[in-house]
Chains A and B, each alone.
Chain A
Amino acid sequence: MPDITLTIDGVAVTVPQGTGLVEAAREAGIEIPVFCHHPKLVPVGMCRMCLVEIGTPKIDPATKQPVLDENGKPVIAMQPNLQVACTNPVSNGMVVKTNTAEVEFARKGVLEFLLTSHPLDCPVCIKGGECPLQNLTMGYGPSVSRFDYDDKVHFEKPIPLGPLIDLDRERCILCSRCVRFEDEIAGDSVLGFANRGRAWMIQSKSNPPFNSKFSGNTVDICPVGALMNGEFRYAGRVWEIKPVPTVCPHCPVGCNMTLDMRYRDIKRVQPRSNEWVNEIWLCDRGRWGFHFVTSDKRLTKPLVRRGGELVETTWQEALEDIAQRLHGVVQNFGGNAVGGLAGGRLANEDLYLFQKLFRELLQSPNIDSRNGTLDEPEHDDLAYAFGLASGTDLGQLGKGTTVLVVGADPEEEAPVHLLRLRGIKRRGGELIVANGRPTKLDASATRTVRYQYGHEAHFVLGLLSAVLEGGSENKEFVRSRTKNLDALRTALRPFGVAAVAEQIGVAADVFQAVAQSVAGAENLVIVYGREAFAAGTPLLQALGNLALITGHVGRPGNGVLPIMRYNNSRGALDMGVRPGKGPGYTNVVKEGLTAQQMVQAAGNGKLQALYIAGLDPVAANPASRAALEKVGLLIVQDLFLTPTAQIADYVLPASSFAERDGTYTNAERRVQRFRAARNNLGDSRPDWQIFAGLGRALAAMVRQPALDTVAASAGKPTGKRPAPAQPVATARTWLYRSTDDINAEIVQQVAIYKGASYAQLKSSHGTWGRQAADDPVFYDGTSYTNTEGFGVQWPTLAEQTNVVFDLVFSQPTTPQPRNGELLLVAAPRLYDGGTLMQNAEGLSFWVAQPYVGVAKADAERLGIASGDRLRLSSAQGNVELYAKVDGLVGPGTLLVPDLAEIPLGQVQTGVLTPVRVEKVEG
C-alpha cells in the first residue's frame, strides 16, 4: 500500500495508507490518549478521549489541485470542530494538532464526564496501579471534581458476569472493548449492552453466563477495573507482583505468559505479548489452569515399594537402587528388555536426556512418547518436512491465503489458534473447514465441508484428484521439487472426484471449488487435529501431497500445522523420543518397540524394566494395568500419584513447569524458553535433574569397553595397539549443572535445533505492544512486554531448496462397522477435567458431564431418548454413558467428549471404534 505523509504537531511522519491517526501519532512519538480504542479492534470512537484538531489541504474545486499560499505551501483547511483520532485514517498532507488549548480543554472535559459516574474507589480496586483511567486522569484530567459524590451513579458492587469474571458496573466507562473483543476476535457474541441512560450496563447474553473460552482477555483490555479476574480480586496489589516469563503447559499453541508471583504464590497468569504466537491473548484454561502446581496431591518425596507399600525414601537411595537394577536388567536380558515412555508434557531438555539415557547408557531402542493405548495415532513426521515454513506469522496472513482445516477443532484443542485463524479470515483470507461434525470454527468459515467419519483421507484424495484433473497443480514446483507424479496419478485413479464425491457424500463441485481455492491461493495453511490423526498415515500422506503439488511448502506463510495432543508433543518428536528416529528426525540403527508393543511385551513378560515419565498408561487404558504389573521394575516419574504410579516400584516426584527452566516447542515448531517461578515443592526435582542423576549413577556402573578390549586381547599379543575405544559415557559426561548445559549439547547434536540456543531464543525485536511502562497510549490492557524473547522456529526440510520429495501414496482404510455397530468418535475437550485442571475451581464449572451424543436418526431407529443409559461395547471392553440425542454427528456415529472422567481407553480399539450399543437400566 502507498505510504502517506502527514504532519502531527509539526512532526512529519510517513505511514502506510489506512493507518489510524492514533497509530500514526505513535510512530511520531506523540501520545494521543484513548480508552475505547484498541489496536487489535476496529475503532468505534465511543469515548471521545482522542479528540484532536485535523486539517486537510484545501483543494480548488475547479482544478482539483491543492490551493497554494504565497509561499508556495498548500493552504490547510482546519475542520471547524475537534475530531476523534481513532476513527480517522491518515491522508496525504493532513495536519493534526494534539496539544492545542482547545484539545486539552476537551480532554479535561471528557475525563470529568467519565469520572462523574466512576466511584473512584481506587484504593480497593484491583486495577489500581495498572489502570488507564487512573493514568490518563493523572495526565490529562482535572485535579478536582465538581460533581457531588452522592449524585454519582451507584450499582450493587461486583456481580458475577460469568463463573470466572466479576463485573463492577459503577466503574465501567462503557467503552465496549470487551463486547467488541468477544464479537470481533473471539467470535462469541456473549456480551452486550443493556438498558439506557444511567442504567446502561454490560450484560452477559449467553446461558451459561459469559460462555466464552477467552473471557479472561476482556479483563486485560478493560481500561478500568470494571471487569475483574474473580480469583485475583483479593490477591494483592499489582505493584506487589513480580511477573516471571513462562510458556503455557496446556496445549500445543505454546502461548507466552507470565506467572505473577507474590512472594512464593502464583497470584495470576497474564499473557506476554508475542505476535508470532499468541499476540496478546490467552485462553481461559491457560489463565486459570495453573492451580495444579499448588495441589496438595503433588508428590514431594521419592517413593519405593517395600513389602507391597510405597514408602518414602531419599533421592540418593532411590537413584542408586534404580541404576543398579536397570544395570542388572541390561546385563542379564540386554537393552531390549528395557523400555521408556516419556510424554509430551516434558521439556525438550528432559526429553533429550531421556533418549540419551536409553540409547547410550541402557543400549535400549525402546522409547516412545505415547501411552500405548489403541487410539493413538502414528507419529507425525509431516511437519518436519512441510511444516509452516519458518518466518510464518499467522497474525499477518490475510488476503490471498487459504486455510484448510481438516479434522480439527481448534477451539477445544488449541484455542488461541482459533483466534489466529479467525484473524486470517477477517483480513480477507479463505477459511475452509472440513470435519465430520460441526465445530465452533464453522461459524467463521468461508466454506464448510462435512464428510463421514472415517473418510478424511478420501476427502483429501478427492481434493488431490480435483487439483490434478483441473490441471491446476503448480507445474514448475512439481517438476523441480517432486518425483513420481505419474505413479500418484495412477494410484489416484480410483479416487476421482466423481467417485469420492459419491462415496463420502460431498458434492463434486465442492471438491472443485476447494481445489481451486487451494491451488490458486498465494499461501496455503493446512491445519489438522486429533480427529484427522484418526485416518493415520494415508491422510497425512495425502495432505503432504496436496501441499506439494500445489507448491505450498517451504515458503513463509505455507505449510501444515498439526495440532497434537500435548504442549510439547512436537518437542518429543524433535528430541527423538520415539522408536526408529533419533533427535532431529535422524534414522537410528535399531528400530525399537512402540508404546503399544511395550505394553504388550510387558504383558508377555518380555519387558523387564519400564520407565514412564509424564505419561499415565493405566489411566488412559485401565486394561494395561495387568500388563504393567508384570514388569519387574516399573519406575514412574510424575507430579502426582497417578494410577500408573500406584502400581510402580519407584515413584519419582518431578517439578512442574512453574518450578524449573526449560524450553517447549509449539505446534508451529517454535522453541520457546520458560523460567522457574517458585522453588521446588518438597524434595521434587526437575525431570532433567532426575535423568542426569540417574545417568551419572549408571555411567559409573557401565564398564569401560576399552578396558574389556584390552583384557580380551591381552592373551594374544598381536604387536598392534588396540583400536581406539569409542568415546564412552562417564559420570563426567552426565554432569549437567543447569538446562543451559543441556541446551548447549542439543544445539550441537541436533541439526534442526542449531539456531535454538538460549541466547537466540531470547531475541525480541519490533514487537507491537506496550513499549515502555509510561506509554499509556497503547496500553494493551495488562499484558506484559516480552522480555524473554520470541523463541526460534526451526526450519523445515522443504526450506532446503535442493531437496526433492517423493509423492507417496498409501491406500486409505475405513473402519468397517459390522451389522448394527456404530462408530465411536472421541471429541477433544479443552476442559477435560484431567490432572492439569486440578484445583482450578473456576474452570470446573465448564467441565462437561459425561455423555454420549447420538444422531437423531440412530436414536429413532434404536429407540434411544436423551437420558437413557447406554452400554457401548467393543472387542476391547465396554463403557456406560448417558445418551444425549443431538444433531451434532451424522447417522452411524456416536460422539463422546474426551473427558478424563470417561475411561474411553476401555472400549477404544482405534481412533474410530465400531461399538455395539445397548440400553441398560439405571
Chain B
Amino acid sequence: MFDLIKGLRTTAKYLFTKPVTISYPEVKRPVRERFRGKHELKRYADGKERCIGCSLCAAACPADAIYVEPAENNPQNPVGYGERYAAKYEINMIRCIYCGYCEDACPTNAIVLEHQYELSFYDRKAAVFTKEILLQPVDKGWGEPPPILQNLNRPPNPPAQMEL
C-alpha cells in the first residue's frame, strides 16, 4: 500500500514538470551544427555545380555507397567549371553510415552532409538518391570557384617575347 503511494507520488511530481520529450513530427528538434544528415551537392554563387565528378568521395566511402559517372562538359553550356562533371551521382542511403569522409575527400566542397535527417523509404530502390534529389536548388549557391578551376579553360599564354 505504501509502495503504491510512493510510486504515484513520483508520477504526480512529473505531472507538473516540463516534459523532456518533444512531439515529433509536429515539433522538430534542432540539430547540432556539425550534425551529419542527408548529403547535398552544392553549387557556386553563379549556379554552376561544384562537383567535378572526380569520384574521390566514392573512393573515400567506407560503405561503398556512392556511385559517380563522369562526363565531359559542353564548353557552350557547361554544367560546372573545368572539363568534367558528374553526369550521374547516386548515394545509397541505406548503405551510407554518415561518416562524412566524402566531405573530407571532396576537393571542391561539393558534397556536404546537411541537417536533414528524415530518411525513410518504402523500398530499397527508393533509398538510392539520385543527383536530382541531392543537388541544391540553383539560387542557394555560394562562393567563387577556386582559381585552379576558373583557369582550366584559359586560352594559351602567348609565347614569351625575348630580345635576341
Q: Which residues of B contact A235 (CB under 8 A)?
A: 70
Instruction: Say yes or no: is B74 at the interface (Cβ < 8 Å to chain A).
Output: no
| Per-position 1/0 for B137-164, Cβ under 8 A of A | 0000000000110011111110110000
B54 with A149: CB separation less than 8 A: no
Q: Which residues of A contact B152 (CB under 8 A)?
A: 119, 121, 157
| Per-position 1/0 for B70-93, Cβ under 8 A of A | 111000000000111000000000
**Which of these, B54, B69, B155, contacts A123 with CB under 8 Å?**
B54
A149 with B147: CB separation less than 8 A: yes
**Which of these, A150, A197, A237, contacts B151 with CB under 8 Å?**
A150
Which parts of A219-275 form the interface with B (CB within 8 Å)?
233-237, 239-240
Nearest CB to that of A128 among chain B residues? B54
B13-21, B22-30, B55-63: which lies at the A interface?
Answer: B55-63
User: Which of B53, B107, B156 counts the most A-chain CB atoms under 10 A from its CB?
Assistant: B156
Which parts of A112-135 form the interface with B (CB within 8 Å)?
119-121, 123-124, 128
B157 with A234: CB separation less than 8 A: no
Question: Known: A234-B71, A234-B84. Is A123-B160 also a contact (CB below 8 A)?
Answer: no
Instruction: Say yes or no: is B41 at the interface (Cβ < 8 Å to chain A).
Output: no
A120 with B159: CB separation less than 8 A: no
Nearest CB to that of B71 among chain A residues? A234
Instruction: Say yes or no: is B128 at the interface (Cβ < 8 Å to chain A).
Output: no
Question: Known: A234-B70, A234-B71, A240-B55. Is A124-B160 also a contact (CB below 8 A)?
Answer: no
Q: CA–CA, A155 to B155, complex, Å?
A: 6
Instruction: Say yes or no: is A499 at the interface (Cβ < 8 Å to chain B).
Output: no
B156 with A157: CB separation less than 8 A: no
B151 with A154: CB separation less than 8 A: yes
B147 with A240: CB separation less than 8 A: no
Instruction: Say yes or no: is B52 at the interface (Cβ < 8 Å to chain A).
Output: yes
Nearest CB to that of B159 among chain A residues? A199
Instruction: Say yes or no: is A156 at the interface (Cβ < 8 Å to chain B).
Output: yes
**Which of these, A124, A128, A149, A197, contacts B83 with CB under 8 Å?**
A124
Instruction: Say yes or no: is A802 at the interface (Cβ < 8 Å to chain B).
Output: no
Q: Which residues of A contact B55 (CB under 8 A)?
A: 236-237, 240
A123 with B147: CB separation less than 8 A: no
Question: Known: A150-B151, A234-B70, A234-B71. Is A158-B156 also a contact (CB below 8 A)?
Answer: no
User: In the complex, what's the smallest C-beta–C-beta distance from A240 to chain B, in angstroms?
Assistant: 6
Instruction: Say yes or no: is A720 at the interface (Cβ < 8 Å to chain B).
Output: no
Q: CA–CA, A237 to B86, complex, Å?
A: 12
Q: Which residues of A contact B53 (CB under 8 A)?
A: 124, 234
A153 with B157: CB separation less than 8 A: yes
Question: Known: A233-B72, A237-B59. Is A158-B159 also a contact (CB below 8 A)?
Answer: no
Instruction: Say yes or no: is A732 at the interface (Cβ < 8 Å to chain B).
Output: no
Q: Which residues of B contact A155 (CB under 8 A)?
A: 156-157
A124 with B155: CB separation less than 8 A: no
Q: Which residues of A contact B69 (CB under 8 A)?
A: 236
Question: Known: A154-B154, A237-B55, A237-B59. Is A120-B148 also a contact (CB below 8 A)?
Answer: yes
Nearest CB to that of B151 among chain A residues? A154
**Which of these, A157, A197, A237, contacts B54 with CB under 8 Å?**
A237
**Which of these, B83, B107, B147, B153, contacts A150 with CB under 8 Å?**
B147
Q: Which residues of A contact B59 (CB under 8 A)?
A: 237, 239-240
Q: Which residues of B contact A197 (CB under 8 A)?
A: 159-160
B58 with A240: CB separation less than 8 A: yes
Nearest CB to that of B83 among chain A residues? A157
Q: CA–CA, A589 to B83, complex, Å?
A: 67
**Which of these, A124, A150, A153, A156, contacts B84 with CB under 8 Å?**
A124
Instruction: Say yes or no: is A146 at the interface (Cβ < 8 Å to chain B).
Output: no
Q: Which residues of B contact A153 (CB under 8 A)?
A: 157
Q: CA–CA, A515 to B112, complex, Å?
A: 76
A156 with B156: CB separation less than 8 A: yes
Instruction: Say yes or no: is A195 at the interface (Cβ < 8 Å to chain B).
Output: yes
B157 with A198: CB separation less than 8 A: yes
Q: CA–CA, A610 to B53, complex, Å?
A: 53
Q: Which residues of A contact B154 (CB under 8 A)?
A: 154
Nearest CB to that of A265 among chain B residues? B69
**Which of these, B71, B148, B157, contacts A121 with CB under 8 Å?**
B148
Q: CA–CA, A197 to B159, complex, Å?
A: 8
Q: CA–CA, A195 to B158, complex, Å?
A: 12
Question: Known: A123-B107, A124-B82, A124-B83. Is A157-B153 also a contact (CB below 8 A)?
Answer: yes
User: In the complex, what's the smallest C-beta–C-beta distance from B128 to chain A, in angstroms?
Assistant: 14
User: Which of A121, A128, A155 counts the most B-chain CB atoms under 10 A from its CB?
Assistant: A121
**Which of these, A128, A195, A236, contacts B159 with CB under 8 Å?**
A195
A236 with B70: CB separation less than 8 A: yes
Which parts of A174-199 form the interface with B (CB within 8 Å)?
195, 197-199
| Per-position 1/0 for B95-139, Cβ under 8 A of A | 000000000000110000000000000000000000000000000
B155 with A121: CB separation less than 8 A: no
Q: Which residues of B contact A156 (CB under 8 A)?
A: 155-156
Q: CA–CA, A120 to B54, complex, Å?
A: 13
Q: CA–CA, A833 to B56, complex, Å?
A: 39
Q: CA–CA, A199 to B69, complex, Å?
A: 34
Q: CA–CA, A155 to B158, complex, Å?
A: 10
Q: CA–CA, A765 to B151, complex, Å?
A: 48
Q: CA–CA, A156 to B155, complex, Å?
A: 6
Q: Which residues of A contact B72 (CB under 8 A)?
A: 233-234
Q: CA–CA, A156 to B83, complex, Å?
A: 11
Nearest CB to that of B56 among chain A residues? A123
Q: CA–CA, A157 to B59, complex, Å?
A: 26
User: In the complex, what's the smallest C-beta–C-beta distance from A650 to chain B, in angstroms?
Assistant: 39
Q: CA–CA, A124 to B82, complex, Å?
A: 9
B159 with A198: CB separation less than 8 A: yes
A124 with B54: CB separation less than 8 A: yes
Nearest CB to that of B52 among chain A residues? A124
Q: Which residues of A contact B159 (CB under 8 A)?
A: 195, 197-199
B56 with A198: CB separation less than 8 A: no
Q: CA–CA, A119 to B69, complex, Å?
A: 23
Nearest CB to that of A239 among chain B residues? B59
User: In the complex, what's the smallest C-beta–C-beta distance from B52 to chain A, in angstroms?
Assistant: 5
Q: CA–CA, A158 to B56, complex, Å?
A: 22
A121 with B70: CB separation less than 8 A: no
Q: Which residues of A contact B148 (CB under 8 A)?
A: 119-121, 149
B160 with A198: CB separation less than 8 A: yes
Q: Which residues of B contact A233 (CB under 8 A)?
A: 72
Question: Known: A124-B54, A240-B58. Is A149-B160 also a contact (CB below 8 A)?
Answer: no
Nearest CB to that of B70 among chain A residues? A234
Q: CA–CA, A117 to B84, complex, Å?
A: 21
User: In the complex, what's the smallest C-beta–C-beta distance from B69 to chain A, in angstroms?
Assistant: 7
Q: CA–CA, A150 to B69, complex, Å?
A: 30
Q: CA–CA, A198 to B157, complex, Å?
A: 9
User: In the complex, what's the smallest C-beta–C-beta distance from A227 to chain B, in angstroms?
Assistant: 16
User: In the complex, what's the smallest C-beta–C-beta distance from A266 to chain B, in angstroms?
Assistant: 15
Q: Which residues of B contact A237 (CB under 8 A)?
A: 54-55, 58-59
User: In the complex, what's the smallest C-beta–C-beta distance from B70 to chain A, in angstroms?
Assistant: 5
Q: CA–CA, A919 to B30, complex, Å?
A: 88
Q: CA–CA, A124 to B84, complex, Å?
A: 7
User: In the complex, what's the smallest C-beta–C-beta distance from B41 to chain A, in angstroms?
Assistant: 15
User: Which of B54, B71, B72 counts the most A-chain CB atoms under 10 A from its CB?
Assistant: B54
User: In the complex, what's the smallest C-beta–C-beta distance from A149 to chain B, in angstroms?
Assistant: 6
**Which of these, B56, B58, B151, B155, contacts A149 with CB under 8 Å?**
B151
User: In the complex, what's the smallest C-beta–C-beta distance from B101 to chain A, in angstroms?
Assistant: 15
Q: CA–CA, A236 to B88, complex, Å?
A: 11
Q: CA–CA, A30 to B70, complex, Å?
A: 39
User: In the complex, what's the smallest C-beta–C-beta distance from A151 to chain B, in angstroms?
Assistant: 10
Q: Which residues of A contact B56 (CB under 8 A)?
A: 123
Q: Which residues of A contact B156 (CB under 8 A)?
A: 154-156
Known: A121-B82, A123-B107; 11 extra A-B contacts, CB below 8 A, are A119-B152, A123-B56, A128-B54, A149-B151, A150-B151, A154-B155, A157-B153, A197-B159, A198-B159, A234-B84, A239-B59
Identify the 9 closest CB pairs spanning chains A and B, nearest first.
Answer: A123-B54, A237-B55, A124-B84, A199-B159, A234-B70, A123-B107, A155-B156, A154-B154, A234-B71
Query: What are 10 A-to-B residue pairs whose CB atoms are below 8 Å?
Result: A123-B52, A150-B151, A156-B155, A157-B83, A198-B159, A199-B159, A233-B72, A234-B71, A234-B72, A240-B59
